[in-house]
Amino acid sequence: MFMAHSTTQMEHTAYCEKDQCQVEIDKGCRHPTDYCQFRKACIIHFMNQEKSREKRRKTLEDE
């Protein structure tokens, strides 16, 4: 379950169901290659995928 905090101090963190702790979204998943039953609903994984897609788009546009 996604639980982002709205305070300015913790604005960029989300709760990792697998590790049961707060994780900075910008740092991405702590275990991206491990199995995770929560991955399909994970905002941390989703945001990391979006960042990767944006980098690929930018690289393709620059070529």
What pLDDT does 9 receive?
47
Between 62 and 36, name the one with better pLDDT.
36
pLDDT at 61 over 90: no
Question: In terms of Cα–Cα distance, which of 38, 34, 49, 48 is closest to 15?
Answer: 38
6 part of a folded domain = no
CA 15, chain centre distance (Å): 10
Distance CA 46, CA 18 (A): 15
47 part of a folded domain = yes
- Give 1-52 pLDDT, tens digit per residue: 555 554 554 568 999 999 999 999 988 899 989 999 999 999 999 999 999 9
Domain enclosing residue 51, as ranges: 13-62
**pTM flag (> 0.85):** no
32 part of a folded domain = yes
29 part of a folded domain = yes
What pLDDT does 4 receive?
53
28 part of a folded domain = yes
